[in-house]
Amino acid sequence: MTTPFGVAVRHLRSRKGVSQKEMAAALGVSPAYLSALEHGRRGTPSFEFLQKVAGYFNIIWDEAEELFRIARISDPRITVDTAGLPPEYTAFANRLSAEIRDLPPATIRRLAGILEKACNSRSKST
Protein backbone atom coordinates (compact mmCIF):
# COMPACT_ATOMS: atom_id res chain seq x y z
CA MET A 1 0.00 0.00 0.00
CA THR A 2 1.13 3.51 -0.66
CA THR A 3 -0.33 7.00 -0.67
CA PRO A 4 -0.21 9.90 -3.12
CA PHE A 5 2.32 11.54 -0.76
CA GLY A 6 4.47 8.39 -0.73
CA VAL A 7 4.50 8.33 -4.52
CA ALA A 8 5.44 12.03 -4.64
CA VAL A 9 8.31 11.63 -2.14
CA ARG A 10 9.69 8.60 -3.98
CA HIS A 11 9.55 10.58 -7.22
CA LEU A 12 11.43 13.48 -5.63
CA ARG A 13 14.04 11.10 -4.16
CA SER A 14 14.48 9.41 -7.52
CA ARG A 15 14.83 12.75 -9.29
CA LYS A 16 17.53 13.79 -6.83
CA GLY A 17 19.12 10.33 -6.74
CA VAL A 18 19.03 9.88 -2.96
CA SER A 19 18.12 6.89 -0.83
CA GLN A 20 15.60 6.86 1.98
CA LYS A 21 18.50 6.56 4.41
CA GLU A 22 20.25 9.66 3.01
CA MET A 23 17.06 11.70 2.98
CA ALA A 24 16.06 10.59 6.49
CA ALA A 25 19.48 11.57 7.87
CA ALA A 26 19.28 14.99 6.20
CA LEU A 27 15.79 15.61 7.63
CA GLY A 28 16.57 14.32 11.10
CA VAL A 29 14.11 11.41 11.03
CA SER A 30 14.62 7.67 11.01
CA PRO A 31 14.66 5.73 7.76
CA ALA A 32 11.83 3.63 9.26
CA TYR A 33 9.65 6.75 9.66
CA LEU A 34 10.33 7.85 6.09
CA SER A 35 9.59 4.34 4.81
CA ALA A 36 6.33 4.26 6.80
CA LEU A 37 5.29 7.60 5.26
CA GLU A 38 6.09 6.38 1.77
CA HIS A 39 4.19 3.12 2.26
CA GLY A 40 1.07 4.58 3.88
CA ARG A 41 1.70 3.25 7.37
CA ARG A 42 1.82 6.74 8.95
CA GLY A 43 -0.69 9.56 8.93
CA THR A 44 -0.27 13.00 7.46
CA PRO A 45 3.17 14.46 8.24
CA SER A 46 3.47 17.72 10.15
CA PHE A 47 3.71 21.07 8.36
CA GLU A 48 7.25 21.43 9.74
CA PHE A 49 8.26 18.10 8.20
CA LEU A 50 6.71 19.12 4.87
CA GLN A 51 8.69 22.36 4.97
CA LYS A 52 11.89 20.36 5.57
CA VAL A 53 11.09 18.13 2.59
CA ALA A 54 10.45 21.15 0.35
CA GLY A 55 13.72 22.72 1.51
CA TYR A 56 15.66 19.49 1.10
CA PHE A 57 14.57 19.17 -2.50
CA ASN A 58 14.82 22.92 -3.07
CA ILE A 59 11.45 22.97 -4.78
CA ILE A 60 9.72 26.14 -5.89
CA TRP A 61 6.65 27.52 -4.12
CA ASP A 62 4.06 26.09 -6.56
CA GLU A 63 5.59 22.62 -6.37
CA ALA A 64 5.77 22.89 -2.58
CA GLU A 65 2.08 23.87 -2.42
CA GLU A 66 1.23 20.82 -4.53
CA LEU A 67 3.29 18.60 -2.20
CA PHE A 68 1.43 20.03 0.81
CA ARG A 69 -1.93 19.43 -0.93
CA ILE A 70 -0.95 15.84 -1.72
CA ALA A 71 0.06 15.31 1.92
CA ARG A 72 -3.37 16.55 3.08
CA ILE A 73 -5.16 13.94 0.95
CA SER A 74 -2.83 11.07 1.87
CA ASP A 75 -3.83 10.10 5.39
CA PRO A 76 -4.57 6.36 5.10
CA ARG A 77 -6.75 6.39 8.24
CA ILE A 78 -9.42 8.98 7.66
CA THR A 79 -12.51 9.80 9.69
CA VAL A 80 -15.66 11.13 8.10
CA ASP A 81 -17.77 13.21 10.48
CA THR A 82 -21.39 13.17 9.35
CA ALA A 83 -22.83 14.45 12.64
CA GLY A 84 -25.59 16.94 11.93
CA LEU A 85 -25.94 15.90 8.28
CA PRO A 86 -28.99 14.17 6.78
CA PRO A 87 -29.16 10.39 7.30
CA GLU A 88 -28.36 9.60 3.66
CA TYR A 89 -24.93 11.27 4.09
CA THR A 90 -24.11 8.98 7.02
CA ALA A 91 -25.37 5.95 5.10
CA PHE A 92 -23.27 6.88 2.06
CA ALA A 93 -20.10 7.42 4.12
CA ASN A 94 -20.56 4.08 5.88
CA ARG A 95 -21.31 2.24 2.63
CA LEU A 96 -18.22 3.71 0.99
CA SER A 97 -16.13 2.71 4.01
CA ALA A 98 -17.43 -0.86 3.82
CA GLU A 99 -17.06 -1.24 0.04
CA ILE A 100 -14.01 0.81 -0.94
CA ARG A 101 -11.54 -2.10 -0.83
CA ASP A 102 -13.60 -4.03 -3.38
CA LEU A 103 -14.20 -1.20 -5.86
CA PRO A 104 -12.21 -1.44 -9.09
CA PRO A 105 -9.83 1.42 -9.92
CA ALA A 106 -12.04 2.56 -12.81
CA THR A 107 -14.95 3.03 -10.41
CA ILE A 108 -12.76 5.01 -8.00
CA ARG A 109 -11.66 7.26 -10.88
CA ARG A 110 -15.30 7.81 -11.95
CA LEU A 111 -16.37 8.63 -8.38
CA ALA A 112 -13.41 11.01 -8.01
CA GLY A 113 -14.43 12.73 -11.25
CA ILE A 114 -18.00 13.14 -10.02
CA LEU A 115 -16.76 14.61 -6.74
CA GLU A 116 -14.35 16.95 -8.56
CA LYS A 117 -17.15 18.22 -10.84
CA ALA A 118 -19.45 18.77 -7.87
CA CYS A 119 -16.77 20.68 -5.97
CA ASN A 120 -15.88 22.79 -9.01
CA SER A 121 -19.49 23.72 -9.73
CA ARG A 122 -20.05 24.56 -6.05
CA SER A 123 -16.99 26.82 -5.94
CA LYS A 124 -18.05 28.60 -9.15
CA SER A 125 -21.49 29.34 -7.72
CA THR A 126 -20.12 31.03 -4.58
| CATH number for the domain that contains residue 8 | 1.10.260.40
Are 9 and 53 within 8 A, CB to CB?
yes
Residues 49 and 101 grouped into a single domain: no
Summarised one tens digit per residue, pLDDT across range 28-80 is 999 999 999 999 898 889 999 999 999 999 999 899 999 999 999 898 888 89
Query: Mean pLDDT in the chain?
Result: 92
Q: Where are the beta strands (DSSP E) in the chain?
A: none
Q: Is 82 part of any domain? A: no
Q: Is 78 part of any domain? A: no
pTM of this prediction exceeds 0.85: no
Q: Which residues contact 100 (CB under 8 A, 6 or more apart)?
A: 108
Parent domain of 91:
87-125
Q: Is 47 part of any domain? A: yes
Q: Is 77 part of any domain? A: no
Are 93 and 82 within 8 A, CB to CB?
yes
Q: What is the pLDDT of residue 91?
A: 96
Q: What is the mean pLDDT of residues 81-110?
A: 95
Point out the domain boundary residue: 72, 98, 116.
72
Residues 100 and 64 grouped into a single domain: no
The end-to-end CA distance of the chain, in Å, is: 37
